[in-house]
Amino acid sequence: MKSASKITHKATSAKRGYTVQAVVRAAAILNAFQSTSEVLDLRVIASRVGLHKATTFRLLETLVETHLIERAGKQGYRCCVQPARTKRYRIGYGSQTSLLPFTATVSDGLVVAANAANIDLFVLNNGLSPRVALQNADTFVAERVDLVVDSQINIGVAAEIAVKFSEARIPFIALDIPHPGAIYFGADNYKAGRMAGRHLARWATKNWKNGPEQIILLGVDAAGPLLNARLTGVLDGINEVSTLGHNIPTHHYDTKGGQFEATLDIMRRHIRRRKPERALVGAVNDSTALGALQAFREAGIERSCAIAGQDGSLAAREEMRRPSTRLICSVAYFPETYGERIIRLALDVLKHKPVAPAVFVQHELLTPQNVDQIYPNDTWMKSSPERI
């Protein structure tokens, strides 16, 4: 009598004998698309299905002729049939806050990308509160989401949040600051800070004969050394270019989560007490940079400062277009691209594909001289940015 295993193997072999590999490959290409709204180029499709580009191209053109795929632009393709999905994933997203423009841009992009990928996005607001972030983590676990994307900056609860997801066996992507056991997605904070610091030093050397007489650093202490690595980078960048930063009084302030109003109050008090004449300001984000600039502007001493921001936000870009602005730079992270990249990373994790432990975003120094080249479409926007 034949064993069950042999019978099963024989049946499987018989089924495989009827398989048409060209059809299997064509189906793989159709399933490479997450939705009918996704546009992919040849390189991306070939990578997703694991086929040579020439083979992929021939299959794509055949599918175009049969109206299962259509061309989108010169190099893009769009699937005309809704890809079959055995499971609709549910992803929990803990937004840092609704008050910061950077976070709002990331959130908007995530919602759009999740919808395009046929993903149910369950959104909660951490509200810059460690207590709320812990409560939201419990909610994600109770809701049994498939994966969590969490944006919270309180280092004191990072390990506790990570343990909750680990014990529930929920994969975890951490934005903004790393968490134990999580995949990190975000800025290389120290690198971004150094970029800003070097530009500050070069600007001061060119514009201030006697150099700066003080340095002001505006941070977020709740995030510990992780987010404030931007400020460490600012100092190192200043000292890398020149000796300006050595032996100059340096003032560090916590901006209560990187908010405009808190920074404005802090800088008003600093200006009254310290009466700055030539101050270099390194800010943890653009909200704090603009808050500091507003304080100098109110006091009538705007020309006594040179400020470097982080984020490359729309409000910062508009400020840099003002003649003689003292917001001399901001390091852009392009948060408008985060949503699609995070969803793609999440899908790779859920499909058990190999992923890097840290995914760093693109950094680029924005200045009044290059802002129109890097963001040429800002002038097309119909509404002006609201005050942060």
Q: What is the pLDDT along the chain (388 residues), one digit of tens a residue?
A: 333 333 334 444 444 567 788 888 898 899 888 777 788 999 999 988 888 999 999 999 999 999 999 998 888 999 988 766 556 899 999 999 888 888 999 999 999 999 888 899 999 999 989 999 999 999 999 999 999 999 999 999 999 999 999 999 999 999 989 999 999 999 999 999 999 999 999 999 999 998 999 999 999 999 989 899 999 999 999 999 987 657 899 999 999 889 999 999 999 999 999 999 999 999 999 999 999 999 999 999 999 999 999 999 999 999 999 999 999 999 999 999 999 999 999 999 999 999 999 999 999 999 999 999 999 988 775 444 444 3
Give me the pLDDT at residue 381, please: 57
Smallest Cα–Cα separation from 263: which of 292, 222, 226? 292
Give me the pLDDT at residue 84, please: 61
Count CB neighbours of 90 within 10 A: 16
- Fold match between domain 90-187+337-356 and domain 189-332+364-380: yes
Sequence ranges of the domains in the chain: 21-79, 90-187+337-356, 189-332+364-380
**Could you tell me the fold of the domain covering 21-79?**
Arc Repressor Mutant, subunit A (1.10.10)
Smallest Cα–Cα separation from 288: which of 322, 335, 254, 318? 254
The pTM of the whole model exceeds 0.95: no
For 102, the token pair is 């950077």
Spatial distance between the Cα atoms of 238 and 246, rounded to a whole number of angstroms: 9
For 130, the token pair is 């460690």
Spatial distance between the Cα atoms of 131 and 378, rounded to a whole number of angstroms: 38
List Cβ neighbours of 340 (8 Å cut-off, separation of 6 or more): 109, 113, 116
Contact between residue 190 and residue 229 where contact means Cβ atoms under 8 Å apart: yes
CATH number for 90-187+337-356: choose from 3.20.20.70, 3.10.20.440, 3.40.50.150, 3.40.50.2300. Answer: 3.40.50.2300
For 13, the token pair is 């072999």
Please give the CATH superfamily to which domain 189-332+364-380 belongs: Response regulator (3.40.50.2300)
Q: Three-state DSSP class for 91?
A: strand
